Amino acid sequence: MLGTTSASNKLAKMIYGYWQSQCLYVATNLGIPNLLQSGPMTVENIAKETSTKVETLYVVLRALAHLGVFAEKPGRVFAPTELSELLITNAEPSLGHFLLHVTEPVMWDAWRELGNSLKTGEVPFERVHGKNFYDFFMAENPDSKNLFNNAMSFLTNQAIDSLFEVYDFGQFNTVMDLGGNRGSLIAHIVKKFGCKGILFDLPVEVEIAPAFLASQGVSCEQVQVVGGNALDSLPKGAEAIVMKYFLSVFSVEDARRVITRCREALPKQGKVVLLQTLVPPRGAPVEYPDGTIPGLAAVQMMITNPGGYWRTEQEYKELFETSGFQLEKVIYTGTSLTVMEFSTL
């Protein structure tokens, strides 16, 4: 239909991309990867368990089987695969939670407004929903908030071993996780390195943090939970402030305000440990080994946040330098997450 040359085939895969993501979303949202954990099932039994129509469900499952997500056996029986196991959502945070977060209808609606926003300057998510991303997700839609929390925990859990192999948080007595949501990262840090922790985020973000931290075996003596706004002020007491993806949601002006608040909260020679996926400079590989394409993810940030996007290493260096910090080291973890360590001037 679209030709057989390598160029047209590459474009065809891009064009078909949303077909694939929507089939994945529907199957995962129905809990089909969860159902198949116990073994192969006929399409009739899957339809019964998911309250769907057999014949239309079969068309979707067959398509996903052709993509390798499920395996189709004789008799219209579907079995799990290595791919479907990654989409299980009834256990720990998984790639399935990340999929459901980025492809749920409220996000899909925002992407439809990308073209209009390029002309008006509006944030697509706000144009569609009439409120900002965090008010919509965190305060008013608990199901979406839960998906977001699990998606962020998945990203942390996926990168944590590689991060800890190359960066020693044990050099600090107390580490503050700025923008740490419910506390997945700081829980890993205090358990691994034995230091104290401070978890700081918006009040609506950290309200479930004490219960989550307790579920991870972390006590309130180990991690202090503080709610507030990073644009206004930060608590003191930490030698290092870690930020994972946090600055991505801010414009340059607001990012400088956050970094200034960090400088005010840190002692002399305090550190900021920025954990970020960096947009590669021109001429460098555009995709990380884990499949992350930072340039594309930057569009996602722009869809949901005013002025927010993923930046290059040089852009972060300049951002911190103009806010009173100097770059000490850049450490590549072998994943899409890079460590940039800054110290106060």
Phi and psi for 282 in degrees, rounded to 5? -55, 135
Domain locations along the chain: 6-90, 92-166
pLDDT of amino acid 217: 95
pLDDT (0 to 100) of residue 329: 96
Q: What is the pTM of this model?
A: 0.88
Sign of CA dihedral 129, 275, 195, 326: negative
pLDDT at 235: 96
Integer Cα distance of 245 and 268 in angstroms: 25
Q: How many residues does the chain have?
A: 345
Give 96-111 as a DSSP string: HHHHHHHHSHHHHHHH
Q: What is the pLDDT of residue 6?
A: 87
Pick among 3.40.50.300, 3.40.1280.10, 3.90.76.10, 1.10.10.10: CATH of 6-90: 1.10.10.10
Q: How far is residue 268 CA from its own chain's centroid?
A: 32
Residue 3 is predicted with a pLDDT of 52
**What DSSP state is assigned to residue 51?**
T
**Quick one: CA dihedral 270, 273, 279, 284, positive or negative?**
positive
Mean pLDDT by 10 residues, the chain (345 residues): 74 93 98 97 98 98 98 98 97 94 94 95 93 80 88 89 95 96 94 97 89 93 95 96 92 93 94 94 88 90 84 94 95 92 92
Structure tokens belonging to residue 60: 């979707």
Q: Give the C-alpha distances (Å, rounded to integers) separating 308 from 78, 159, 189, 288, 321.
A: 42, 22, 27, 21, 19
Spatial CA neighbour of 315 closest among 280, 265, 283? 280
Given this model, what pLDDT does residue 4 score? 62
